[in-house]
A and B are shown apart, each in its own frame.
Chain A
């Protein structure tokens, strides 16, 4: 839902980043307002997953230039857990398995950390169980998964449902979903997508990172951005994704030119 007057939640300006000595992002600009759903598409290696990791504060990536503001604050100054508590959520492409740590306990501690940051009371074990059982419905997840270790032995689809369950519990204002559709069969994709659609509200925004159109058939984006070589090359409406599907990524490359010099005053990218 596009409302030009709604508040800006996330503003990425001329973001450059490296992993090791390797430059990956070369000037990304992106603005997300409340109520919007954005999709970032691109080939493997275009930098889209890097973007998601940087938003969550992964220590392996170094921001070399540019800024990210979350609700006007400098997001890059925050530790990963501070970002999560403040309402920035990353749904992982490959959710990590943590043997021995109970999923239920993990969800409770995380939820309470977020609640604490919002000035809400911590939930005790019983109150939390009520909450989590209610939120399980969002992703139609079997309560048995609460008793297991975090993601351990979960199938690809179960892991992704667990991610969306976490989103449902943490109620983020900015949710970045990195390749949430990968490894899902069509039924799981529908369930996960329906969950995301339920969780999208006029007050939050969602950034979908994906390779394929099929996720966007389920979750309709307001904006589609195409990344290549560490920059957003094209931005459009949902039709851009369809055009991309039709014409392939080579079509995007035609627009690829030598990276412009970092210039904060550069005009916003042209809308196709």
Chain B
């Protein structure tokens, strides 16, 4: 309808179609987790896989005329070898030597082996057996209306195993879920189902690392019962050749509280899709995001928050630091339909553009029908504040040092909101690396 600026083209059609076909056939024979026969949960998953494959073949690869992918090039993606990522031996061996800063239950997650094998789960946390998964699988996606997200379909088409956890009451130990692709090449599909029962509470850090030409693609479905509280962090530390996709669908019952913080950087291509629904309103959602991109990296976050009842609250702050020839995309949709009276939503996108070859696209999108609401959004794209730099330098700091200090300050507002186990990964240093050139 409206022709706005034409964006970068995605990868050439035929090459990307061939890549997609190769990936699909590489994952034709999933190894289901449960041994000893096929359970109904496996059947549910098999149905989801089959349906996703059908859809995906119909959809093909995203093109630049798809609004959701207009600004995001898939070139880094199709450079990933279209095969199953081989198991990484001694996974976690590449981690920093130091032990976790706090007590946390760390699970290693590779989409193949059972992360729970041989693990004693803390009180309140239990596995959802395959037979019981069927009632939940796909429901958070359906509520958010994002089943047709290309990313979610793509991921669903490949997944052969679901990590499914139920939370009752308060789990006192933070849970840490680590997927480390190391320098291996190939595709690793992951799927997590998390069900927090009424008044349950959990702290979860999801860590993705990669150093080679790999694609980690995850679908996380979370259901928060009434009064439940989830503090969920996603920390993604990548490399120029690695890609990360994550679709995070959350359904929140009234009285629940979600604090979702994402911090990603260093990926050739990263795309996060938080899709949150307050199923009957009256819940609290706090979204924090930071993406750091340099060189030719592309960082993309598409969020959707939907209020389906009155008195919901949203506080969203999304930040980006973009240097060199990198791209950052933020698309943030907030939907306030008629039944969502007295919603309070605020969204702010703050972008630091550090180079004249870098590019930032910020697209807030508010759709409001209810009239008794308070919704605000804002966006800024700037460089580091020169007055602030000057102030620091006038107190004796070098230019680089001053810039670094301001950058860290900019990022800390998000990083501080990550669950405690994140400190182990030293996110500021991992994301910002050595001082960025000013």
A and B directly contacting (CB within 8 A): no
